[in-house]
Amino acid sequence: MPTSPLSTQLHLSLPSPEHEIKLREAQQRDIKVWVKRDDTIHPVISGNKWRKIKHHLVHAQQHQIQHIISFGGGFSNHLHALSYCCQQLNIRFTAIVRGNYEKKPSPMLLDLASWNTDIRYVNKITYQKRDTLLLKHLQIEFPDALIIPEGGSSELAFQGVADIINELTQAYDFILAPVASGGTLAGLIKASDKLSLSTQILGIGVLKGQDYLEELVNELLPDEHTNRNWKINHDYHFGGYAKKNAELISYCTAFNEQHAIQIEPIYSGKLFYALEDLLKRHYFPAGSRIIAIHTGGLQGAR
């Protein structure tokens, strides 16, 4: 049995700090902005994915599980983080990857291979059956393995995300976070009982055409949470327009030079772009206190 907690075994830097950043539009209106630095939790393990896999790993250790299986795409931050953790913890890891990258593996898949992950490539159709037929096959082939679903919408994932709220050292009027599958946002909302009712949790949608996310998040929440003060803004996904993307990339470059914080164009870039644009549009009342959750994920930008 391990004698030290996972965060010690994996050399994680927790709780992640809250750093104040100076943004001109904010200062003009007496608004203060902080960043919750989940990007500093670990140089390899993406902060957001750590939050979501933590309790799966605790479960694996408590039950002496020696083998973990999970799913993801060819650039998945989730598989990347999990692969690294398993290698560090001496747990065998099998990654089921959607698409055939055998001939041209992504930098992330090369990392997985170097961390001794067994990679299995499956086509889209097989992948779609990962929660049904494929899952059954895997359970038969590996009866002792822990199979972790892709994404972060399980109860164990929510528990890890709740730590973000629990770690906050002061009160905020707005909490901003990027939204892809909605798992993180749902976890934040679920954990927000301790916050003042006036605190707004504002998700910034990073994917195009995800207008169903509100419904999805609502489904993930028990009834008593439905009146919580939360929203998803869909104006900043940069929907693949080349021109817009160039603008986003130059925004990230300028931000990286101005602040001692690295951002990338997939999650954190859109989050901070949205934050600054909403400041310009006076979305936040004068005097507001805002915290943006930097969820990490810099490996995905390669």
Residues in contact with ligand PLP by CB under 6 A are 46, 48-49, 77, 151-152, 178-185, 267, 295-297
Nearest-CB residue to ligand PLP? 297
Cβ proximity to ligand PLP, 105 vs 151, nearer residue? 151
From the CB of 91, what's the least distance to ligand PLP, in Å? 21
From the CB of 185, what's the least distance to ligand PLP, in Å? 6
User: Does residue 290 contact residue 21 with C-beta atoms inside 8 Å?
Assistant: no
Cβ proximity to ligand PLP, 31 vs 37, nearer residue? 37
Cβ proximity to ligand PLP, 288 vs 299, nearer residue? 299
Cβ proximity to ligand PLP, 70 vs 295, nearer residue? 295
Residues 6+ apart with CB under 8 A from 17: 36, 37, 40
From the CB of 224, what's the least distance to ligand PLP, in Å? 22
Cβ proximity to ligand PLP, 265 vs 297, nearer residue? 297
Cβ proximity to ligand PLP, 178 vs 278, nearer residue? 178
From the CB of 182, what's the least distance to ligand PLP, in Å? 5
User: Does residue 95 contact residue 112 with C-beta atoms inside 8 Å?
Assistant: yes
From the CB of 124, what's the least distance to ligand PLP, in Å? 19
Cβ proximity to ligand PLP, 31 vs 300, nearer residue? 300
From the CB of 77, what's the least distance to ligand PLP, in Å? 4
From the CB of 281, what's the least distance to ligand PLP, in Å? 23
Question: HEC states along the chain?
Answer: CCCCCHHHHCCCCCCCCEEEECCHHHHHCCCEEEEEEHHHCCCCCCHHHHHHHHHHHHHHHHCCCCEEEEEECCCCHHHHHHHHHHHHHCCEEEEEEECCCCCCCCHHHHHHHHCCCEEEEECHHHHHCCCCHHHHHHHHHCCCCEEECCCCCCHHHHHHHHHHHHHCCCCCCEEEEEECCCHHHHHHHHHHHHCCCCCEEEEEECCCCCCCHHHHHHHHCCHHHCCCCEEEECCCCCCCCHHHHHHHHHHHHHHHHHCCCCCCCCCHHHHHHHHHHHHHCCCCCCCCEEEEEECCCHHHHC
